[in-house]
Amino acid sequence: MDKKNTTIGVLLLVAAVVSMILSAKYAPKPAAPLPLTPAPVESTATPAADTTPVAAPDATTTATGPAAGPVSTPALGLAETVTLANDVMIVTLTNHGGAIEHIALKQHLAIQGQPGLYTLNAVRAAPALSLTDFPGADRHTTYTLVSKTDTEAVYRATTPTLEITRRYSLAQEAGRDDYHVRHETTFRNITDAAQVLPKAVFNLGTATPLNAADYGMYLNTGYGDGEDTHFIARSDLEGGGLLSWIGMKDGSPPAFIERPSAITWATVKNQFFCMILTPDQPGSGVRAERVKLDPRAPADDKRLYGVTGYAEFELKPLAAGAASTLGADYYAGPKEYKRLGNGDIFKHGEEKVMQFDSFFFNKIFLSGFFAPLLLTIMNWVHSLVAHVSPEWAWGWAIVITTLTLKIVFLPLTLAASKSAKRMAKLQPHMQALREKYKDNPQKMQAETLRIFKENKVNPVGGCIPILITIPFFVGFFAMLQSASDLRFAGFLWVTDLSAADTVWRIPGLDLPLNIMPLLMGATMIFQMKLTPTPTADPAQQTMFKIMPWIFTLFCYTFAAGLALYSTINGLFTIGQQMIINRMPEPDLPINNGGAAKPAAGGLKNVTPKKKK
């Protein structure tokens, strides 16, 4: 039986390897990468002030200022841009819509090892914070630049009935993050009669894949309603699905998805970067759309789609000559939990943009708790080791955090390992009980529980270390899939702890050679050899032997930081198990209830006495 199960397990493992090879070899090749961003911003210095003189800002011109000028013209031809800058970003504003064209992040490269800053809203459905479908004042309108300094710009547009003033500021203020752009849009009624205003719909920006290899799993639009968070993934906008497959629903992609709701913040984001609008007053809804990033791209290449979002606000009627202002903080930067979790600045739960518990198994293993806990600990460790080894600081942070967790749980793990060892020693006697009471399951269960109690053995004691490890492993996985902290962070031969550590690709098969997952698998296999198997069932023993191989294949393309955590965890456990295995064998007061005792040499089948 044991040989048969081993053969089946080996065949399954071989089938998994062959499937991986054939999938890589014969899968449809993705289209050649297309440019997803304009020419990268290379300078990290603050740009000089514009040479065109612009009047200094006048507070009276933003709300109750002088009579409005001529009606604004449609946005035709090339846009005129100006820039605002601080220590972390360069904001480029356009007069087409009086909005944000794009934002370059000074501390984040677009491509590792190459010049050029990562740029948000580089390819866009519309300028970020531009008004949508607002007659005479949307992105198709030419705004006039009213005033400009190094950190503030004011635009204005005029319709036959309204004056719309738009102000952008990077000035440092209490309660605002360095990546915040303060924005205010003021609507002034320039007629002699009251006006009913249309809905104000602001574009949140366009989120795109990080690179040509990013298939956009983490692209989505989201919002908070004051109590919970909701996300619309790019896949929700692709159509298809089970209902369309069985003919119960049209499978064509929807033009948009709209969610009426009170919104305290709204976002568009990819895996590591986000744009978050936090209005002074709640909005009334969110709309999400899929954006084709290049018109030349084939329609079925899902990589070349981004997502854009819109935040909707109801405007109150304006009396003659009256004005009203919509204010908001606009965050455009990395998804750093340490930053977004600062409740003094982000007061509406914006840190939930990290989506640590976005998947079902994340929720089961409480990643919403463990992922931020691990990231908080790692940030603290990183701050300590960065002074000693700045280039490998995040790698050492993973190592030290892993070892710290292992030491904290050491007493519980040792108790569980001893329990597993006692359980393994008890197995021959359990087999004898099963033979004696094979026709009486109730008696066998009662005798089994009695033996466990008398010998102080917990039948699930050996599973406790695994149960402890799984939430942290899943938490690490969730953390690495969202936090930008490990992006482009190196350690040993690894150049990016947030991605697989591919050092070579096998010619002809196009299979990556990833070292860290192989080390992880080796530690798991060696650990399994050292650990007593708490069962005599051949099928279960075979499963224990095969699982490390299956798990290695499953994690082979995961982030190197995850494999590093698991490898360090495994090495510590190996050393711990070697010490436990050298400890004296437990002395069990075994009383097998009259069942035939196993032979001294080990387990053997025991035939019950014949009835007289």
Asked if the structure places residue 193 within a domain, the reply is yes
Task: Give the chain's mean pLDDT.
Answer: 79
Asked if the structure places residue 602 within a domain, the reply is no
Q: 507 or 398, which is more confident?
A: 398
Q: 131 or 10, which is more confident?
A: 131
Give the domain-ending residue among 326, 355, 384. Answer: 355
- pLDDT, tens digit, for every residue of 257-306? 999 999 999 999 998 999 999 999 999 999 999 998 887 877 777 778 89
pLDDT at res. 36: 45
**Residues 264 and 143 grouped into a single domain:** yes
d(C-alpha 210, C-alpha 586), whole Å: 56
DSSP sequence for 197-258: PPPEEEEEEEE--SSTT---TT-EEEEE-SS-EEEEEGGGGS---HHHHTTSS--SPPS-EE
If DSSP codes are grouped into helix, strand and coil, which group holds residue 572?
helix
- pLDDT, tens digit, for every residue of 35-48? 444 444 544 433 33
Which of 202-206, 444-448, 452-456, 560-564 is the least confident region? Answer: 452-456
pLDDT at res. 478: 85
pLDDT band at 61 (very low <50, low <70, confident <90, very high): very low
Strands (E), 454-537: 502-506, 511-514
**Residues 527 and 567 grouped into a single domain:** yes
- Averaging pLDDT over each range in 183-197, 422-436, 456-470, 592-606, which range is the top one? 183-197
**Residues 456 and 560 grouped into a single domain:** yes
Whether the pLDDT of residue 313 is over 90: the answer is yes
Q: 421 or 605, which is more confident?
A: 421
Whether the pLDDT of residue 612 is over 60: the answer is no
Task: Report whether 175 contacts 344 (CB < 8 A).
Answer: yes
**Residues 329 and 432 grouped into a single domain:** no
- Find, among 163, 199, 155, 450, the residue nearest to 321 by Cα: 163
**Residues 11 and 118 grouped into a single domain:** no
Q: How far is CA 208 from the centre of its chain?
A: 15
Half-sphere exposure (Cβ direction) of 259: Cα atoms closer than 13 Å = 19
State the amino acid at position 267 in one-letter form: T
pLDDT band at 539 (very low <50, low <70, confident <90, very high): low
pLDDT band at 85 (very low <50, low <70, confident <90, very high): very high
Q: How many domains does the chain have?
A: 2
Give the domain-ending residue among 323, 355, 387. Answer: 355
pLDDT band at 184 (very low <50, low <70, confident <90, very high): very high
Task: Report whether 271 contacts 216 (CB < 8 A).
Answer: no
pLDDT at res. 52: 40
Asked if the structure places residue 316 within a domain, the reply is yes
d(C-alpha 441, C-alpha 447), whole Å: 10
Whether the pLDDT of residue 54 is over 60: the answer is no
Whether the pLDDT of residue 183 is over 90: the answer is yes
Task: Report whether 416 contacts 424 (CB < 8 A).
Answer: no
Which of 52-61, 80-89, 136-145, 206-215 is the least confident region? Answer: 52-61
Whether the pLDDT of residue 2 is over 80: the answer is no
Q: How far is CA 539 from the centre of its chain?
A: 37
Asked if the structure places residue 303 within a domain, the reply is yes
Asked if the structure places residue 95 within a domain, the reply is yes
Q: 339 or 414, which is more confident?
A: 339
**Other CB atoms closer than 10 Å to residue 149's CB: what's the count?**
16
pLDDT at res. 535: 53
pLDDT at res. 246: 58
d(C-alpha 170, C-alpha 178), whole Å: 8
Non-local (6+) Cβ contacts of 199 within 8 A are: 284, 312, 313, 314, 315
If DSSP codes are grouped into helix, strand and coil, which group holds residue 206?
strand
Non-local (6+) Cβ contacts of 507 within 8 A are: none
Q: 599 or 132, which is more confident?
A: 132
**Residues 347 and 460 grouped into a single domain:** no
**Residues 258 and 314 grouped into a single domain:** yes
Non-local (6+) Cβ contacts of 409 within 8 A are: 465, 468
Q: Where are the alpha helices (DSSP H) in 251-346?
A: 337-340
pLDDT band at 581 (very low <50, low <70, confident <90, very high): confident
pLDDT at res. 20: 45
Whether the pLDDT of residue 3 is over 70: the answer is no
Asked if the structure places residue 371 within a domain, the reply is no
**Residues 390 and 289 grouped into a single domain:** no
**Residues 98 and 161 grouped into a single domain:** yes
pTM for the model: 0.78
Its domain, for residue 463, covers: 2-27+376-581
pLDDT at res. 540: 62
Asked if the structure places residue 361 within a domain, the reply is no
pLDDT at res. 239: 74
pLDDT at res. 434: 73
CATH number at residue 331: 2.70.98.90
Half-sphere exposure (Cβ direction) of 139: Cα atoms closer than 13 Å = 18
Q: Which helix (H) or strand (E) holds 221?
A: strand 220-224
- Find, among 466, 431, 473, the residue nearest to 451 by Cα: 431
Which of 5-19, 462-476, 540-554 is the least confident region? Answer: 5-19
Asked if the structure places residue 506 within a domain, the reply is yes
**Residues 344 and 435 grouped into a single domain:** no
Q: 534 or 518, which is more confident?
A: 518
Whether the pLDDT of residue 603 is over 50: the answer is no
DSSP sequence for 95-115: TBTTEEEEEEEEEEESSTTSS
pLDDT band at 514 (very low <50, low <70, confident <90, very high): confident
Residues in the chain: 612
**Residues 193 and 256 grouped into a single domain:** yes
Whether the pLDDT of residue 413 is over 60: the answer is yes
Q: Give the whole-number percent of the chain exceeding pLDDT 70.
A: 77
Q: Determine if residue 116 is left, alpha or beta; phi over 0 gives left, psi from -120 to 50 gives alpha, anything else beta.
A: left
Q: 47 or 351, which is more confident?
A: 351
pLDDT band at 610 (very low <50, low <70, confident <90, very high): very low
pLDDT band at 50 (very low <50, low <70, confident <90, very high): very low
**Residues 478 and 446 grouped into a single domain:** yes
Q: 306 or 583, which is more confident?
A: 306
Strands (E), 30-150: 81-85, 89-94, 99-109, 117-120, 144-148
pLDDT band at 90 (very low <50, low <70, confident <90, very high): very high
Cα torsion angle, 40, 46, 51, 56, sign? positive
Whether the pLDDT of residue 182 is over 90: the answer is yes
